[in-house]
Structure 1
Amino acid sequence: MALVLGRQALRQAMPVCLLAAEWDTAGRLTASINSTGHPAFSGGRLLNPLWSGLAPRKRFYSSDSKDDLRVRYLEGEDSGIVVVGINRPKAKNAISKNLVKMMFEAVEDIKTNNKVRSVIVCSLVPGVFCAGADLKERAKMHPSEVGPFVSKARALITELGNLPVPIIAAIDGAAIGGGLEMALACDIRIASNTAKMGLVETKLAIIPGAGGTQRLPRVIGVSLAKELIFAARVIDGIEAYRLGLVSHSVEQNNCGDAAYQRGLELAREINPQGPIAIRMAKLSINQGIEVDLSTGLAIEEACYAQVIPTKDRLEGLAAFKEKRRPHFKGE
């Protein structure tokens, strides 16, 4: 299962380029968690001082199964932001059976947590976001296994996209095949200028099978999507921004996490806004874009009706009147 930790205070005490080291520390932190999911004690004291002042989480993931996925629920001022980090360095974050399983579990946890405001999907492996399907694992599959696995991966990416909160893909390296399809399911994509992206399945005499043929045309247009898919072309972050594939292309930094840092900035912009309003806005946009304008306006009206009776709406009006920052609770 994936590793879940909320340690924003500790994160803020570290230099930003220690992102990978931070996750390693997070992994070691689990050694002091007992079977109940609470920090272990010895003689009335925490075995690991890093837990001092941190409230125990409802659920903790162990770091077994090669620690392919690490999930953090940030705290403090960043409470509500969830960072989903893919961590398969030897396989370039390729999508395996185990990774699909753990991502399903992480998505389910996020889906049922009303305190989540936004999600950042990123990589903990320098130079790569996700290299697509794990072809070494795929080669060992019986032909009868391939179809069901692809269907499950497709379902995972669909579930990721259907999360009710904004999902930000931070692409700091190669996002190829299924890796780009995963990013396409996210609401917002941010890439470093050196990142590489492409749906290259035709090189293997197959086609994108996890939504690429449907989502890419919706993002950049039919003709351009056909060109990229037919030619199996790989583009960098600058070209991706020009085509509208990503919302932002940022210059890569020495730490290799420029897209993640920009994604975190964006999540922090989203965080203070009304959480129910954000969820309804996403629902209205996602459903409305698939229908005609008249039906879309009806969908918007229905979603708007959901925010009218909320306490947050009244709090927003009161804060505006009193010239103060609103304190939304998602109620």
Structure 2
Amino acid sequence: RQVTTAGSWTGRPTNSRAKPKCHERHRLFTNGAFVPPIHVLGPILELCRNVTIEICSELFTSRLIPILDLHLFYIPSTSHCPSNPPTTAAMPPRLAPLRVAIRIPRTTVASSKSAAAAFYSTSTASDSNQSLITVTQLPAPGSGHIRILELNRPKARNALSKALLSQLRAEVDAVHAQYDPETGAEVPQKQVFGGAAGKDVKGPTRALILASAVETSFCAGADLKERRGFTQQETDEFLQTLRSTFTSLQNLPIPTISAISSIALGGGLELALSTHFRVLSSNAQVGLPETRLGIIPGAGGTHRLPALIGLSRARDLILTGRRVSAPEAYFLGIADRLVDITHEEAEKAGEGDKDKGVLIAARKAALSESVRLAGEICEGGPIAIRAALQAVAWAREEVENKMYERVVATEDRNEALKAFQEKRKPVFKGQ
């Protein structure tokens, strides 16, 4: 398929496939036909006036591509040319099925290079010598972006070490810095993320997704090997940092989502409980096994889990320390979305190795559904979404009244009324 400088879309994908079955409590989601939204095509055409972009049909069959009207286009460095085409090795792992070839007249290479890098960037946190978190930005509907943080400690199954925790806290603080702590309003300054090239000129983070770059684990909890060598003071300092990081994540003024496709145990589940939503693939398992190790959940599990599913059910899971399957987690209310992985999908993803295929397909499906959910939420007014989060968190009439006063005077609210009268979809700007 081609996107030309004239803005024409020459053809639809012929082998578009339905997304994974996703059971919500009230309805079944299905994937629609691919319609490239103007907020995605516009910036591409603006940045690449003399560039022809060819995207192979695998783009539309990959589950990694956001569903419905949130679509991702990967623009590699314009230093690539026909004699040195970009390869999947130069792309983020989750974007490997997406291959883009760019033909650029020599006169436009230099001017296009910085613009292409600024449109889409993938970077990693750099608080330590080793990058333990992979960061990806996707354009959100209207304005801003959806930010994905993927934990990446494959040898330790994403266990929470001091280094990983430090990088996670830095990423959470970077999002907090985009909003005024008192009013929740956007801070006007442009932000630079994780050493990525260019600045974020499209607005702040509208939603945050926590995921795993490792098929075998979302997060296996605390790094027990590392903690075994801690002194009592180091243990106390680590727990204080762990708790404050999870609390800071919980208090983010934007929607947060955990994409869980394998195991989330102990601190891993407590991390997921610190987000607003949890998307689980059907093979995932969660649990709080601390009592079997002679301790108790110490990073929010004993109060966040009862607040979520009720005292009796939380007491059962904490005292027994048992693992809970994804379907049961959905029944209990731990999971907000459940993505089904079929045998056929697993065999295809694993190229005959079913066990490996389940893990690969599950990680892709959970991440894809999380992106779809984030995109659906971001279709609402940014100010209204933040105000609603704050009102629900306090769950008191006076807070709701205060938040309503905040949104009723916004330009987004006037735009919604105007769009309703004109029978069109509103275009929110977060103002």
Normalised by the size of structure 1, how large is the TM-score? 0.82
In structure 2, C-alpha distance between the alignment counterparts of 1:23 and 1:150, rounded to whole Å: 38
1:273 corresponds to which of 359, 380, 389: 380
In structure 2, C-alpha distance between the alignment counterparts of 1:73 and 1:52, rounded to whole Å: 15
1:25 corresponds to which of 83, 91, 103: 91
Whether the 8 Å contact between 1:65 and 1:98 is mirrored in structure 2 is no
Whether the 8 Å contact between 1:122 and 1:169 is mirrored in structure 2 is yes
Whether the 8 Å contact between 2:122 and 2:137 is mirrored in structure 1 is no
1:53 corresponds to which of 116, 138, 142: 116
Structure 1 partner of 2:168: 103
Q: Which runs of 5+ in 1 are unaligned?
A: 1-7, 28-42, 289-295
Distance 1:77 1:309, change over 3 A: closer
Whether the 8 Å contact between 1:80 and 1:271 is mirrored in structure 2 is no
Whether the 8 Å contact between 1:127 and 1:256 is mirrored in structure 2 is no
Q: Which runs of 5+ in 2 are unaligned?
A: 1-42, 45-54, 66-86, 94-106, 179-185, 187-203, 347-360
Does 2:404 align with 1:309?
no
Distance 1:72 1:14, change over 3 A: farther
Structure 2 partner of 1:71: 135
In structure 2, C-alpha distance between the alignment counterparts of 1:23 and 1:56, rounded to whole Å: 20
In structure 2, C-alpha distance between the alignment counterparts of 1:221 and 1:80, rounded to whole Å: 34
Aligned to 2:406, what secondary structure does the other structure show? helix
Distance 1:58 1:134, change over 3 A: same
Structure 1 partner of 2:193: none
Whether the 8 Å contact between 2:125 and 2:135 is mirrored in structure 1 is no
Does 2:393 align with 1:327?
no
Distance 1:205 1:23, change over 3 A: farther
Matches within 5 A, 1:2-41: 13=59, 16=62, 25-26=91-92
Q: After superposition, give the CA deviation of every residue in 1:230-254 in whole Å (9 maximum; x if it has no partner).
A: 1111111011011111112211353
Distance 1:327 1:56, change over 3 A: closer
Structure 2 partner of 1:185: 274
Distance 1:24 1:214, change over 3 A: farther
Structure 1 partner of 2:10: none
Structure 2 partner of 1:297: 397
Q: Quick one: percent identity of the two aligned structures?
A: 38
Between 94-103 and 245-254, the greater mean CA deviation after superposition: 245-254
In structure 2, C-alpha distance between the alignment counterparts of 1:321 and 1:103, rounded to whole Å: 44
Equivalent AA in structure 2 for residue 139 of structure 1:
R
Could you tell me how far 1:57 is from its partner in structure 2? Answer: 8.0
1:282 corresponds to which of 389, 402, 407: 389
Structure 2 partner of 1:89: 154
Could you tell me how far 1:319 is from its partner in structure 2? Answer: 1.0
In structure 1, C-alpha distance between the alignment counterparts of 2:228 and 2:401, rounded to whole Å: 50
Aligned-residue RMSD, C-alpha = 3.2
In structure 1, C-alpha distance between the alignment counterparts of 2:137 and 2:382, rounded to whole Å: 16
In structure 2, C-alpha distance between the alignment counterparts of 1:154 and 1:23, rounded to whole Å: 37
Matches within 5 A, 1:217-232: 217-232=306-321
Between 270-279 and 52-61, the greater mean CA deviation after superposition: 52-61
Q: After superposition, give the CA deviation of every residue in 1:128-175 in whole Å (9 maximum; x if it has no partner).
A: 110000111111111221011011101101111110011011111100
Q: After superposition, give the CA deviation of every residue in 1:81-133 in whole Å (9 maximum; x if it has no partner).
A: 11111111001000011111111111111122342211111111002110000
Normalised by the size of structure 2, how large is the TM-score? 0.64
Aligned to 2:264, what secondary structure does the other structure show? strand
Report the structure number with the largest CA radius of gyration. Answer: 2
Aligned to 2:338, what secondary structure does the other structure show? strand
Structure 2 partner of 1:144: 233
Distance 1:15 1:156, change over 3 A: farther
Aligned to 1:130, what secondary structure does the other structure show? coil
Whether the 8 Å contact between 2:263 and 2:286 is mirrored in structure 1 is yes
Whether the 8 Å contact between 2:285 and 2:323 is mirrored in structure 1 is yes
In structure 2, C-alpha distance between the alignment counterparts of 1:107 and 1:23, rounded to whole Å: 28
Aligned pair count reads: 302
Could you tell me how far 1:53 is from its partner in structure 2? Answer: 2.6
Distance 1:143 1:22, change over 3 A: farther
In structure 2, C-alpha distance between the alignment counterparts of 1:161 and 1:167, rounded to whole Å: 8
